[in-house]
Amino acid sequence: LLGGEKPAPVTRVHKSRLPSVPEESSETSTPEHALQVHGARLLPLTERTSSVMKVSAVDDSSSDPILNTFRTFARLNALPVSGTISTVPLSSYATELLSKTSSLSPDLLLVPWPSTLPADNESDTPARRPAPFAPGAHSAFISEILSEAPCNAAILIDRSFGAPVPSADRGHHIFFPFIGGADDRVALRFVLQLAKNRHVTATVLQVIHTAAPDVKPPPAATTGTGSEAFAPRPGMGSRRSSRASAVASAEEAVRGMVERREADAAFLCALRDSLPAGLGERVVFLEGEGGQALVDTAKGEVGGAGDLVVVGRGIGGVGEVGRVLGGLAGDMMEAAVGGSLVVVKAGGRGLEM
């Protein structure tokens, strides 16, 4: 999807029938591609398998069947790719992946997260468990990736996107709730990038916030009657100063919240108003409420095998999913919203948007 539209195929001509080219013009430049992909395959290193045997078995990545399938698919779709294999303990997955990411300086680190994973200490057995909900090394891996990634990061929880049964409908629909913040700004750009593909439609729902609360100073406590109530008492000046400081801090927090909301709204409007005509026909911007109403809207928007719900990670929520992937992602998972889920976390240059 990220590759956008494929360029029109070029009819090839036999080299013997090509016009002669002057020798000084024989050098050809490598075309620039809008998308380049580097795949990193991580294999578990366990105590039951010799590390020397394990590493030597996959030292040559050209013989790895999964990477070869990855390369073949990319070649058929005219995508420049590269790939590596690393055999490390499960506890070192995040460190290894973050190290590779830092060396490549990519725009996005995308980590696929299957619907089930082997138990932490049973990597070679068929026993499986729900991946996003179970605490342990796997959720710790995702937490470290999201918190330490040197670039924008995204977690793809594949619940139907890679379904084994091919769908007759090649289209994809994306639902994205825009709440605000750096994560949502990066996620919005990601959604619009996906929507450049003519098989993709998207609904962007701007969540309308309630009005900022009024800040009122707490009432001053008084005792006694008549003139006694207004007589100065020890410590009264410090208490008044504390109340004034608390009110000033609350007012500053409210002003900051209002400014951030206005900046987020301006960012959304700028992207919406600058969409090309063709893209504007496939992307719809709406306004709606948060909470349960937002989850209900998501259920009505997606459900097909190729549909996606994209959310910014934002702040953490309750439970294992909410703690790792954020409160909104946790709500979507708990409500069993159809389609797959992509959680986006801003990092690196994405924090400057």
In a domain, 279, yes or no: yes
More confident residue, 303 or 211: 303
308 Cβ contact partners less than 8 Å away, ≥ 6 residues apart: 161, 172, 173, 174, 175, 194, 302, 339, 340, 341, 342
| pLDDT, position 62 | 72
| pLDDT, position 122 | 46
pLDDT band at 112; cut points 50, 70, 90 = confident
Structure tokens at 218: 């707490």
203 & 290 share domain = yes
Query: Residue 153 is part of a domain; what is its CATH number?
Result: 3.40.50.620
In a domain, 13, yes or no: no
186 & 247 share domain = yes
248 & 310 share domain = yes
The alpha carbons of the chain give a radius of gyration, in whole angstroms, of: 27
pLDDT band at 200; cut points 50, 70, 90 = very high
In a domain, 162, yes or no: yes
185 & 145 share domain = yes
81 & 114 share domain = no
In a domain, 177, yes or no: yes
Per-residue pLDDT for 68 more than 60?
Answer: yes
pLDDT band at 329; cut points 50, 70, 90 = very high
More confident residue, 290 or 213: 290
Domain boundary among 88, 116, 149: 88
144 & 254 share domain = yes
| pLDDT, position 317 | 79
Domain boundary among 58, 88, 118: 88
Query: Any idea what the Cα angle at residue 338 is, between residues 321 and 126, rounded to 5°?
Result: 60
328 & 183 share domain = yes
Residue 83 belongs to domain spanning:
36-88
Per-residue pLDDT for 30 more than 50?
Answer: no
Per-residue pLDDT for 127 more than 50?
Answer: no
Domain boundary among 45, 62, 88: 88
Instruction: Give start and end residues of each alpha helix (H) in 181-276.
Output: 182-194, 236-273
275 & 324 share domain = yes
Phi, psi angles (nearest 5°) of residue 87: -110, 105
| pLDDT, position 148 | 95
pLDDT band at 99; cut points 50, 70, 90 = very high
Per-residue pLDDT for 126 more than 60?
Answer: no
pLDDT tens string 75-93:
877 788 888 888 888 888 9
Per-residue pLDDT for 36 more than 70?
Answer: yes
165 & 70 share domain = no
| pLDDT, position 139 | 85
Q: Could you tell me what percent of the chain has a pLDDT over 90?
A: 35
pTM score over 0.85: no
74 & 155 share domain = no
In a domain, 232, yes or no: no
More confident residue, 6 or 124: 6
| pLDDT, position 212 | 55
42 & 109 share domain = no
| pLDDT, position 250 | 78
| pLDDT, position 25 | 46
User: If you average pLDDT over every residue of the chain, what do you get?
Assistant: 78
**Alpha-carbon torsion 328, 329, 331, 332, what sign?**
positive
In a domain, 100, yes or no: no
Per-residue pLDDT for 4 more than 60?
Answer: no
pLDDT band at 178; cut points 50, 70, 90 = very high
- Segment 135-148 shows an average pLDDT of 85
Q: How far apart are the first and last CA of the chain?
A: 23
| pLDDT, position 301 | 94
Number of domains within the chain:
2
pLDDT tens string 214-259:
555 555 555 555 555 555 566 555 666 777 777 777 777 778 788 8
Most confident of 55-64, 75-84, 141-150, 249-258: 141-150
162 & 79 share domain = no
Q: What is the DSSP string of 26-37?
A: ---PPPP-S--E
- Segment 63-67 shows an average pLDDT of 82
In a domain, 26, yes or no: no
Within 13 Å of residue 138, how many CA atoms lie on the same side as its CB?
Answer: 25
In a domain, 98, yes or no: no
